[in-house]
Amino acid sequence: MRHAFVAGWTNNRIVIVSPDGTVKTHSAFWPIPGVKVRFRNSNNLLRLCKPFLFEETVIALEGDSSLEIGKNPYIKRSLFLIQRSSTVKIGDDFTSEEDLRVVLSGEPRQKVSIGQDCMFSRKICIHPADGHTIFDVSTGQALNPGKEICIGNHVWVGMNVLFLKGARIADNSVVGANSLVTKPFTDPNSIYAGAPAQKRNKKPINWDRKSCSDFVFKP
């Protein structure tokens, strides 16, 4: 797939980390199977760890921005739009079914982090800023600045979930389908669901990628 590049834009890099730890830096033109990479302006970084598997995914980095994805991801028909010195970091063993939208645009220096071994269903959106301003008429003060989004390790996210600014999910948790997450949830081993999302379990839980018929509990 083609990589967008304009003369005068410099230091746009694709860094590939091999399983043995070897690090190789490539130019903006280096092809990645299943990914269309678009660089705009300078000093953007895309860092991927092998092995990886992408299908019909678009990564757009604009102006001192970066996307780092750990080893063994599977990402399908998704969009990463990262602008204005913003950063996205995703841990190892991340999977996403399709139509993941991670959009950091409008405000500078936004941040999104997703931990290790997270499993996303389809049609999930992550937006750490609203994109437009709500302000106090009497003072002119902006009332809705963006905030970092942080999703912990081993988090299962159901379909059609929307994460907005300030969202945080603790480790070993589940986010139910069609949920709206707008604030930090710091209790691990929990189920969060609803619009807006709320904690739904009383006893600690955890989850496994196997189906119930194949699952065997090992304490």
Reported confidence tier of residue 7, pLDDT bands at 50, 70, 90 = very low
Average pLDDT, whole number, for the chain?
95
pLDDT of residue 219: 77
Cβ-based burial of 102 (10 A; exposed 0-12, middle 13-18, buried ≥19): buried
Task: Tell whether pTM > 0.85.
Answer: yes
DSSP symbol at 70: -
Domains assigned to the chain? 13-133+144-199 (2.160.10.10)
Query: 15 is written with which tokens?
Result: 């860094």
Mean pLDDT value of segment 61-83: 97
Could you tell me which of 123, 125, 82 has the C-alpha nearest to residue 106? 82
Residue 137, pLDDT above cutoff 60? yes
Cis peptide bond prior to 51, omega within 30° of 0: yes
Q: What's the pLDDT tens digit per position in 173-214?
A: 999 999 999 999 999 999 999 999 999 999 999 999 999 999
Q: What's the pLDDT tens digit per position in 24-59?
A: 999 988 999 999 999 999 999 999 999 999 999 999
pLDDT of residue 4: 47
pLDDT of residue 8: 53
Give dist(CA 104, CA 112) in Å, integer. 8
pLDDT of residue 2: 46
Give dist(CA 19, CA 4) in Å, integer. 28
Could you tell me which of 130, 125, 116 has the C-alpha nearest to residue 98? 125
